[in-house]
Amino acid sequence: METISENACFGGVQGVYSHRSDSCDCDMTFGLFLPEEAQHGPVPVLWFLSGLTCTHENAMVKAAAQGWAAEQGIALIFPDTSPRGEGVADDEAFDLGQGAGFYVNATQKPWAPHFQMYDYITKDLTDLVFEKFPLDASRQAITGHSMGGHGALTIAMREAGRFASVSAFSPICNPTGSDWGRKQFEAYLGSDKAKWVGHDASLLMADRGFDGPILIDTGTKDQFIDLLKPETLAQAAAAKRQQIIFRMQPGYDHSYFFVSTFMEDHISFHAEALYA
């Protein structure tokens, strides 16, 4: 692991690090905020998965998360959204290829050699951060924005028992029923739609649900709301009788202005579960 930068931040340290990922077969970069309490022992962790076109840096800089995390003594992990670098497949479209990993393990060419983002998040990066930093693996929560909200919800439901809570800002809720999902799933996973089901938050909710609290925020003026399909997740959660707070925020769009506005709510929500 290589340290790219470390800066004092709200009494703690905001670091950026790179490392070799076995799953993605390339170098990957991530951000990690450690609160002051980490100087004295392991602290709970909140993962933040970012959306289309983002790197580790977008949420790290724009989400206004570190101050609220410092108040609660919680670490923040900001992974990248895809493999990158020479020899890594890409596409001219913003919603496929580099910056658009969709948190799945690709099985199709030319994506399969590097686009193993599910394993990267749940195994490679997980193993690294808990080995190298004072983090408490028994107290983890996860959140994300847009494509990252999709990732947070699907990973939380698939990795049963790992996360105390999950939240999402304007998540892609039903990718198998949306152009933000069908295109990418066919490219990464192939045409067999049965292989898509395990990466659709609404279908996973109907099938499994989540053993813990969920918080969802989406703006009523989100310019991508027809692609996000929040109603599908709300309906599935209601049918499952899932413990969930589902909010449509009047006047808000898809931007980081929206994310930063409600970040305090989300971190407080996760703190309650992490310290329960």
10 Å Cβ neighbour count for 191?
9
Tell me the residue range of the domain where 75 lies. 2-274
Task: Flag residues of the chain having pLDDT under 50.
Answer: none
Q: Locate tokens 């990690």: which residue?
A: 32
pLDDT score recorded for residue 44: 98
pLDDT score recorded for residue 67: 98
Q: Which of 124, 145, 222, 266 is catalytic?
A: 222
- Active-site residue 222, yes or no? yes
pLDDT score recorded for residue 244: 97
Task: Read off the CATH number of the domain in which 127 is found.
Answer: 3.40.50.1820
Say if residue 44 is preceded by a cis peptide, omega within 30 of 0.
no
- Active-site residue 179, yes or no? no
- Active-site residue 146, yes or no? yes
Query: How far apart, in whole angstroms, are the C-alpha atoms of residue 3 and residue 158?
Result: 31
3-state secondary structure of 199: helix
Per residue in 35-66, pLDDT (tens digit) is 999 999 999 999 999 999 999 999 999 999 99
**Average of per-residue pLDDT values in the chain:** 98
Q: Which of 56, 150, 254, 270 is catalytic?
A: 254
Tokens describing residue 190? 């192939």
Contact 228, 181 (CB under 8 A): no
Q: Number of folded domains in the chain?
A: 1
Q: Which of 146, 165, 167, 178 is catalytic?
A: 146
